[in-house]
Structure 1
Amino acid sequence: MDNVLEKQRSAHEDIERLEQAIVDQYMEDAKTHREKLYNEHVVDKFLTRIADKSEYLHELYQDKDGLRQSEMEALSGSTEFSEFYERLKVIKEHHRKYPNETVEPAEMEFIYLSQKKEENDYEELEKKFSGEESTGRYLDLNELHSMYINLKGVKKLDYLQYLSEFDDFVTVYPKSIKTTEEYKHYLNQLFQYLYGFFRRSKPLYDIAALEEEALPEFNQQWEQGKVPGWDVDTSNQGLFCPACQKQFSKQTVFDAHLTAKKHIKAQKKLEEQKDAPAEGTVENIVGGKDDKRKAIAWRERLIIKYAEALADFREETKSNVERKQALTDKERILEQEQEVVEFVDQDSDDEDDEKIYNPLKLPLGWDGKPIPYWLYKLHGLGVEYPCEICGNYVYMGRKAFDKHFQEWRHAQGMRSLGIPNTRQFHEITKIDDVLALYQKQKKEGSSAEAKADVVEEYEDAEGNVYNKKTYEDLKRQGIL
């Protein structure tokens, strides 16, 4: 029946069934990590539906159009019997018109969901995570680490150090780069990943409460100029230009820049933003739409709070990375001699069914289990490739060895030798060999240093590749 009271009754019934479904979901004995995570995602969907139904009920109870009040008066007034028989007539006509219409009980939806869980192999859940994340057990910051390495002026950290210090915005990230577009892009990507990992690995965690708790403290510290990494000299607060986002040290310099074309253009743009502010932006949330620095600092504070809440995941990730990278000689010999790897069945009834038997310390695959030994041998992951230029760092496997020539460690070693890291020096790992080749190139007049503008390649945000000279010219003109 299409009336307000029936809609309210139906919504209340749906909410009660969803609450019972949540109870049934928690009553199931989930033993493995994957089963527990699956249950949390299902409960999260139920809670979202309850919130939507409750909002719908709230609108019905408000009765802005007065339909509910008129129905109540019709059912409780002098015409209550005529109203009753009129509605009964509508029901009979509907069943007379559709005599064989099948009706599925509302509880069947949850019965199907339970059966689906028994038959499903959790493929949809595993698709939400990368292989490195191992169904929500570990963080996967490899891509963000690459973005961090490409930032100018930051400390060069390896992946393990980055896992420990990526949220240290005081010492790791210089204040001079915090207003650059590259840093803002990196910060947004880091924030979005941590937020998304929260939603995937801890769907029932109340992120909104965490943010609401952190906001008052942040606003108070910002007003006092005591936000770590953004300390403000209160004596020069009047010399800050919100349009240009610059802090000036002298009054004369501040007054002189007010007549510059760049400041006038920035001031006009700032006034336009004030007239039409974008709703839901980070600037409006923290109350700092006139100060972009505050929005960046607030995003840093959120990342710190997320990292604190994900401390257990971070420690597990660090342990996993150390286990895969730091193998002793004894373990490598054992890996070469042992060719059979036994696994513990994840679906067994044992309490320790999530522990995997991995005596060879093989790398983990996309499913969180050690890769087969034949695959380990095929890719040569047990073969060591030392590089003297990288400080005698040892790379495991040919793939990692080939990749390291473009990474920061090798580039820094070449830079310390005063030699450009060009393709002519790839595959060379001895310092004497690199120096000899460089001297030979200088004698032959084909020094890579003289051709650095042509040999070195740069890539823009759209994937276009230019040589160094062309890239710098385009960037200087503002085309890139």
Structure 2
Amino acid sequence: MDNILEKQRAVHEDLERLEQAIVDQYMDDAKTHREKLYNEHVVDKFLTRIADKSAYLSDLYQDKNGLRNSEMDALTGSSEFSEFYERLKVIKEHHRNYPNETVEPPEMEYIHLTQKKDEEDFQELENMFSGEESLGRYLDLNTLHTLYINLKGVKKLDYLQYLSEFDHFDTNYPKTIKTTEEYKTYINQLFDYLHSFFRRAKPLYNITELEDEALDEFNRQWASGQVKGWEQVDTKNEELFCPACQKQFSKKTVYDAHLTAKKHIKAQKKLEEEQGTKSSIVAVKDDKRKMIAWKERLIAKYAEALADFREESKSNVERKQALTDKERLLEQEEEKVELVDQDSEDEDDEKIYNPLKLPLGWDGKPIPYWLYKLHGLGVEYPCEICGNYVYMGRKAFDKHFQEWRHAHGMRCLGIPNTRQFHEITKIDDAYALYEKQKKEGISEEVRADTIEEYEDGEGNVYNKKTYEDLKRQGIL
């Protein structure tokens, strides 16, 4: 039936079913990151439908056309029985015209979304992310980093530094380029990517509330001239800025010469036709600068909310930089195998009893306590060079000196990660030993033949000189 009261009842029913579907979705025991993200996207779709139906229901209750009041009068007036039989006649007529029409219960629309998910259900989710993003775990700013390094006058940063400082608009981006088209294109693409990543990786985050709070703060600071990077505009730069061409010039002579160019005359004429007066040109210039500053503020707010993703992305880039090509290929294969195992294995519902917090073995159960004590896994070995990372057990501690985290820490200190620095975990001790080696005249280049190590096919390790001698003799 198409009367107002029936429409309201149907919308209320849909809202209750949507709320129950959200509860069922949260009751689903998502074990992997992919399943959790999929559930969040499904809940986000349900919430969007709830918002749309609630807006429609509000319009029905407002009854701007007065149809609801007229229906209520007809149902409660003197002709209520005739109105009832008239509606019953419409229902019978419909079933007489469509006697074999199949009816699907309304709840079936939501039940299939809370059932066990197949691989096809995740295909749409995986298509949302690039390979570098790894299903929303990391940021992929490689394309934007390329745009950044092509900007004129910016501080040149490698990709790892760019991940840390892409939102430092008051230090890394000079004011002279902030009115150029290249910078405007870069800012728009950076904003679009972060906004899109927010919607894909954190679909349930209230991004509208974040933007509203940022807008109120930005308007107050802009009115008082306290926006970072835009506090004071140099008078000289103001005089050398062309609002028609939206271009900043560095010299007065170049600015005067461009005023007679055909391109400038055409742009000036077009701008004056659109705005009409000279004062409006200044207003347009201010509005464009305010829009750029507003985009910068939003990007900074997005970066602040995505701080965890940024740190994870930096750690991932550092780790990959320390891997060889062979190790990267092995890692990709292991990720595929791990993903298949996570999807195919049926985990036990009962919790594992592990009161001593012992490490888990290959079978997913705690290792024996005697083995835990034998390997000293309860002993902590902190390493200041690795950022005060704590290694559990002597075996893991000895192994970490040749791993990427320690190698990166030594590289940041400017010290070669050689065998002589094995067992050194303090930064001061590492600097002291390095200074002692330099005073004694021991250099890395001179001792390269004895320090650089090679491994044969059987796993035996030799220094460079011994390895080349054995290979030359045909022993290896």
TM-score range, shorter chain: 0.5 to 0.7
- Aligned-partner Cα distance in 1 for 2:55–2:274: 33
Supply the AA of the counterpart residue of 1:178: K
Structure 1 position 341, deviation (Å): 5.9
Supply the AA of the counterpart residue of 2:321: Q
Structure 1 position 77, deviation (Å): 0.7
In the other structure, the counterpart of 1:146 is: 146
- Aligned-partner Cα distance in 2 for 1:157–1:259: 38
Structure 1 position 135, deviation (Å): 0.4
Q: Closer, same or farther in 2 for the Cα pair 1:140/1:333, shift >3 Å?
A: closer
Q: Closer, same or farther in 2 for the Cα pair 1:63/1:227, shift >3 Å?
A: same
Structure 1 residues 90-239: aligned runs within 5 Å: 90-115=90-115, 117-118=117-118, 120=120, 122-233=122-233
- Which ranges of structure 2 fall in alignment gaps of 5 or more residues? 250-254, 277-282, 352-358, 365-476
Q: Closer, same or farther in 2 for the Cα pair 1:54/1:333, shift >3 Å?
A: closer
- Helix, strand or coil at the partner of 2:112: helix
Contact 2:25–2:43 (CA<8 Å) still a contact in 1? yes
Supply the AA of the counterpart residue of 1:80: E
Q: Closer, same or farther in 2 for the Cα pair 1:150/1:260, shift >3 Å?
A: closer
In the other structure, the counterpart of 2:72 is: 72
- Helix, strand or coil at the partner of 2:65: coil
- Helix, strand or coil at the partner of 1:140: coil
**Match status 1:296 vs 2:292:** yes
- Aligned-partner Cα distance in 2 for 1:156–1:198: 27
Q: Closer, same or farther in 2 for the Cα pair 1:219/1:262, shift >3 Å?
A: farther
- Aligned-partner Cα distance in 2 for 1:203–1:337: 32
- Helix, strand or coil at the partner of 1:122: helix
- The correspondence for 1:306, drawn from 275, 294, 302, is 302
Contact 1:242–1:291 (CA<8 Å) still a contact in 2? no
Supply the AA of the counterpart residue of 2:288: K
TM-score computed with the length of structure 2 as normaliser = 0.62
- Aligned-partner Cα distance in 2 for 1:189–1:321: 22
Supply the AA of the counterpart residue of 1:82: S
Structure 1 residues 250-265: aligned runs within 5 Å: none
Q: Closer, same or farther in 2 for the Cα pair 1:263/1:130, shift >3 Å?
A: closer
Q: Closer, same or farther in 2 for the Cα pair 1:72/1:334, shift >3 Å?
A: closer
In the other structure, the counterpart of 2:59 is: 59
Contact 1:225–1:234 (CA<8 Å) still a contact in 2? no
Supply the AA of the counterpart residue of 1:179: T
- Aligned-partner Cα distance in 1 for 2:176–2:110: 55
After TM superposition, the runs of 4+ consecutive aligned structure 1 residues lying more than 4 A away are 233-248, 257-275, 287-290, 331-338, 340-344, 350-353
Q: Closer, same or farther in 2 for the Cα pair 1:148/1:176, shift >3 Å?
A: same
Q: Structure 1 vs Structure 2: percent identity of aligned residues?
A: 74
Structure 1 residues 9-24: aligned runs within 5 Å: 9-24=9-24
- Aligned-partner Cα distance in 1 for 2:144–2:330: 37
Q: Closer, same or farther in 2 for the Cα pair 1:197/1:155, shift >3 Å?
A: same
In the other structure, the counterpart of 1:474 is: none
Supply the AA of the counterpart residue of 1:293: R
Q: Closer, same or farther in 2 for the Cα pair 1:241/1:76, shift >3 Å?
A: farther
Structure 1 position 105, deviation (Å): 0.5
Contact 1:225–1:233 (CA<8 Å) still a contact in 2? no
Q: Give per-residue Cα distances to partners, 1:258-279, cap 9 Å, x unaligned.
A: 999999876765566569xxxx
Q: Give per-residue Cα distances to partners, 1:225-248, cap 9 Å, x unaligned.
A: 221111225999998986676899
- Aligned-partner Cα distance in 2 for 1:131–1:336: 14
- Aligned-partner Cα distance in 1 for 2:329–2:186: 41
Supply the AA of the counterpart residue of 1:223: A
Q: Closer, same or farther in 2 for the Cα pair 1:102/1:213, shift >3 Å?
A: same
- Aligned-partner Cα distance in 1 for 2:208–2:286: 24
- Aligned-partner Cα distance in 1 for 2:121–2:2: 41
Q: Closer, same or farther in 2 for the Cα pair 1:83/1:263, shift >3 Å?
A: same
- Aligned-partner Cα distance in 2 for 1:297–1:123: 38
- Which ranges of structure 1 fall in alignment gaps of 5 or more residues? 249-253, 276-286, 358-480
- Aligned-partner Cα distance in 2 for 1:139–1:269: 41
Q: Give per-residue Cα distances to partners, 1:395-450, cap 9 Å, x unaligned.
A: xxxxxxxxxxxxxxxxxxxxxxxxxxxxxxxxxxxxxxxxxxxxxxxxxxxxxxxx
- Aligned-partner Cα distance in 2 for 1:247–1:140: 31
Contact 1:133–1:139 (CA<8 Å) still a contact in 2? yes
In the other structure, the counterpart of 1:326 is: 322
Structure 1 position 346, deviation (Å): 2.4
- Report the aligned-residue RMSD: 4.0
Q: Closer, same or farther in 2 for the Cα pair 1:96/1:156, shift >3 Å?
A: same
Q: Closer, same or farther in 2 for the Cα pair 1:15/1:158, shift >3 Å?
A: same
Moved more, 158-167 or 120-129: 120-129
Contact 1:288–1:294 (CA<8 Å) still a contact in 2? no
- Aligned-partner Cα distance in 2 for 1:8–1:42: 25
Q: Give per-residue Cα distances to partners, 1:373-408, cap 9 Å, x unaligned.
A: xxxxxxxxxxxxxxxxxxxxxxxxxxxxxxxxxxxx
Contact 1:170–1:229 (CA<8 Å) still a contact in 2? yes
Supply the AA of the counterpart residue of 1:296: I
Contact 2:11–2:57 (CA<8 Å) still a contact in 1? yes
- Helix, strand or coil at the partner of 1:299: helix
> Bigger radius of gyration, 1 or 2?
2
- Aligned-partner Cα distance in 1 for 2:39–2:334: 31
- The correspondence for 2:312, drawn from 312, 316, 334, is 316
Structure 1 position 115, deviation (Å): 3.5
